[in-house]
Structure 1
Amino acid sequence: MDTPAFPRELIGESWSPPLPEAPGFEHLMISIPGARCHVAVIGDGNPVVLLHGFPEHWWQWRLIAPQLAARGYRVICPDLRGSGWTAAEAPGMRRETQLKDVVALLDALDVARAHVMSHDMGAISAMQLAYSRPERVRAMVQLAVPPGFLEFTPGVAPAFRHMPALLMHRPPRSMRYLLDRPYVVHALPETVLKGYLVAEERPEVLSNVRALYRGMVIPEALRLMRGDYKRMRLQVPTLFVFGRQDCPFSEKNVRRISRNHERCAEQIELAFVDDAAHFITDDAPDAVAALALDWFARIESSMPRG
């Protein structure tokens, strides 16, 4: 397939709009089938892939990735298709489009196996990767999203209250309202909001919102409600992390909906972070980094050498 033409400003060191500031990162454009993927990378060592949530992009990890890199990891933060500075060849989204992108990116970067941390929408692709290609994942940390084998209860219904507006979304409406209470405990400063929302200046970002939800999020939600993941087994060791002020996923609710995990997973743990809600990476980045580093170290120490 011929390489598609992309705007010149997306290639090299000139980015349009300008990337938000985050010292220490190297920025790459990686060609994968159907897209050119923007990837921010920091550090050297065993790879860790961080998959952002919605409406965020690679910059979500600006306070966390450097902490992982300082402990000897090469941290790879891609912009998933439809977000950030990744440029798709054509509009549209299927349930496994982003999963295929992640696998293609791992192949392009010659990463055979990596730790994976994900948040919100990024957890869809991370979960799909862990179930379908467990040999590619060493250990997983999933933020603010419950296990795929969850038991649905009325207590988790508020987690879906934002979906109707996103299913009907039309540009130029901004996603700013999602980055506010009750999704955060601490209101984000204007400089941080601008860092996330600057990507909306790229026309394909806001125009992809409905495609993301109709093509990927809703079909995956239906699989969850049908119990598809209860009939599978999660082989990848996974830590599920929640903010204690993320109302739908209070500790009581999470423990209830995960209570039969021994039937569905090899090794999972639950962790809860004080003074944090859904956007836990902004509310409590140091706590997230510490939990991830501890989990990765414990899983690595339990693996056979060689």
Structure 2
Amino acid sequence: MIATPGLRTHVASIGEGDPVVLLHGFPMHWWQWRFIAPIIAAEGYRVICPDLRGSGWTEADDPRFGPESQLDDVVAVLDALGIGTARFLCHDMGAISGMQLAYGSPERVRAIVQVAVPPGFLEFSPRVMPAFAHMPALLMHRAGRSLGYLFGSRYAAKPMTDETVEAYLRVHERPEIERAVTALYRGMVIPVSRRLMGGVYKRMRLRPPMLCVFGSEDGPFAEPTVRRICRNHGQHADRFELAFVDHGAHFLTDDQPREVARLALDWFARTT
């Protein structure tokens, strides 16, 4: 547990060497990286997997969320650990904080890999609207309603076992985590989504090298669509690439963890 003002962040860590920070998605926590973190650590990295605010075993004094709440938390953890700069691998919700850090404090990001999330400079297209279909239910989430539907075939190419889903969702037995669902979406996800659609990040320059990885079965982000919405990356980013993984969907870290790890390690090696 790492204590910073108003927050006690639970962090899982493995390995020694240059730091790699893994930022999990929703409704997950550090355990999302159970297959990937050891692979990266085995290549000589110190892998750090924090539970973001409102997730896992992290505890916050203030239950509210703002657009930069988790970003500020990540920076606080880096500072507490004495980490000036790191590499990042981020999925889903975690990619919001990773992207914000890459734009706002590029000197702290040596390289970044985003999984299942397009870059901030995307050219918005109606074709990606289905990616937001889950938001109304989460904005209206009520305590006791299972989030198991998020792990269905629409988002995972390989069926997750009941034990895996239960391991992700067990933490929602904690009232503060259950209450954080709507606070997270209303306070952070929706405002940042509006910034994306409004072109806020298109007016900024992305300095750190970024790789965006998508599963071939992630419907809203099919390869033709992704290549189209990222076609002008040279105007917005210093270095940017795309990668696509067969037999994977939105929860690509569970569908194809070894391939995600391989792509991340390759990107880190090529951007040293």
Work out whether 1:285 is the aligned partner of 2:246. Answer: no
For residue 228 of structure 2, what is the aligned residue in structure 1? 256
For residue 76 of structure 1, what is the aligned residue in structure 2? 48
Q: Which of 156, 161, 166 is residue 184 of structure 1 equivalent to?
A: 156
Work out whether 1:59 is the aligned partner of 2:35. Answer: no
Work out whether 1:231 is the aligned partner of 2:191. Answer: no
For residue 119 of structure 1, what is the aligned residue in structure 2? 91
Q: Which of 238, 261, 265 is residue 237 of structure 2 equivalent to?
A: 265
CA distance in 2 between counterparts of 1:154 and 1:217 reads: 19
CA distance in 1 between counterparts of 2:165 and 2:136 reads: 23
Contiguous gaps of at least 5 residues in structure 2: none
TM-score normalised to structure 1 length: 0.88
- Measured against aligned partners, the alpha-carbon deviations of 1:15-54 in whole angstroms (never above 9, x if no partner) come to xxxxxxxxxxxxxx00012110000000000000000000
CA distance in 2 between counterparts of 1:208 and 1:173 reads: 13
Equivalent position amino acid for 2:223 in 1: E
For residue 22 of structure 1, what is the aligned residue in structure 2? none
Q: Tell me, yes or no, if the aligned pair for 1:33 and 1:101 is still in contact at 8 Å.
A: no
Deviation at 1:290, TM superposition (A): 0.3
Tell which has more relative contact order, 1 or 2 (C-alpha 8 A, sep 6+). Answer: 2
- Measured against aligned partners, the alpha-carbon deviations of 1:85-141 in whole angstroms (never above 9, x if no partner) come to 000112110000000000000000001110001000001000000000001010000
TM-score normalised to structure 2 length: 0.99
Work out whether 1:243 is the aligned partner of 2:215. Answer: yes
SS of 1:227 mapped into structure 2:
coil
Deviation at 1:198, TM superposition (A): 1.4
CA distance in 2 between counterparts of 1:99 and 1:209 reads: 17
Aligned residues: 272
For residue 181 of structure 2, what is the aligned residue in structure 1? 209
SS of 1:241 mapped into structure 2:
strand
Deviation at 1:170, TM superposition (A): 1.3
CA distance in 2 between counterparts of 1:276 and 1:140 reads: 20
CA distance in 1 between counterparts of 2:123 and 2:46 reads: 36
CA distance in 2 between counterparts of 1:202 and 1:180 reads: 23
Work out whether 1:141 is the aligned partner of 2:141. Answer: no
Report the identity percentage: 64
CA RMSD of aligned residues (A): 0.6
CA distance in 2 between counterparts of 1:89 and 1:256 reads: 43
For residue 266 of structure 2, what is the aligned residue in structure 1? 294
